[in-house]
Amino acid sequence: MDSATLFWLGQMGLMAQMGETLLYVDYYASPAADRQVPPPIPADRVRDVRIFLGTHNHLDHIDHEAWKIWAKTCPDALFVFPEAHREAVLADGIDSARACGLNDEEQIRIGDVTIHAVAAAHEFLDRDERGLYPCLQYVIEWNGLRVYHAGDTIRYEGMLPRLQRFGPMDAALMPINGRDGRRYRRNCIGNMTFQEAADLAGELKPGLVIPGHWDMFADNPGDPDAFADYLDAKYGMKCHIPTVMEPIRIGHD
């Protein structure tokens, strides 16, 4: 088994170098006044990416202004997203041959990377009249390594065994910002609380646990220290609270 290197990009953004394949998941690269964390790599400086993944059609997960740029600056890249949002992605100038829409329980192999899609419940386990889920989670496999990216989700009945069927996860990035009435009233739909995320991690038992979705917006925060403490107290597991662009090695040389 080889090693891969992960880089947290803030919020649920993740960059992964897997052998010769460079991929980005949910990278929010556009500047904005309400951001507490600036984009670590300006969108127009992103190069040599093979795969861009977006979990759902919110700005901090599928950044359409950035995707418009990357459609031009990364001409060999493929874009992976929930099939429910194909029209919005094509509007970014991405050719249909490079637009890889997935739905629940579908997968795609790109070079030596396989991407598995699992439905996500961004507060609700929604599905449209075509049977398409607007929010996804991804299990990314490369050379015996598995990285779980939870996107934005709460835990729903049957989710754990659906993830466990892929086998042991080497790393998991999970949202911990939670949800409440105050946020819901202003149409800010929520995710797992830090306790729920810790319980999922404690049962899934990935090799490395990374909390996400806690740093970007002052009005939608999370508490990574509380997550880490609860995970340790209840399951005896450690998590890695990342800093932006810190290299995180998984696997073995």
Mapped to the 3 state alphabet, what secondary structure does 75-98 carry? CCCEEEEEHHHHHHHHCCCCCHHH
- Residues contacting 239, CB < 8 A, separation 6+: 201, 208, 209, 210, 211, 224, 227, 228, 231, 232
Under CATH, which number does the domain 3-237 receive?
3.60.15.10
- Confidence check: pLDDT of 253 > 70: no
Give 2's pLDDT tier (boundaries 50, 70, 90): confident
| pLDDT tens column, 3-55 | 999 999 999 999 999 999 999 999 999 999 999 999 999 999 999 999 999 99
| pLDDT tens column, 54-103 | 999 999 999 999 999 999 999 999 999 999 999 999 999 999 999 999 99
C-alpha to C-alpha distance for 60 and 33, rounded to whole angstroms: 13
14, 4 contact by CB (below 8 A): no
Q: Would the pTM of this model clear 0.85, i.e. be above it?
A: yes
| pLDDT tens column, 202-240 | 999 999 999 999 999 999 999 999 999 999 999 999 999
Amino acid (1-letter code) at residue 132: L
Amino acid (1-letter code) at residue 216: M
| DSSP symbol at 239 | -
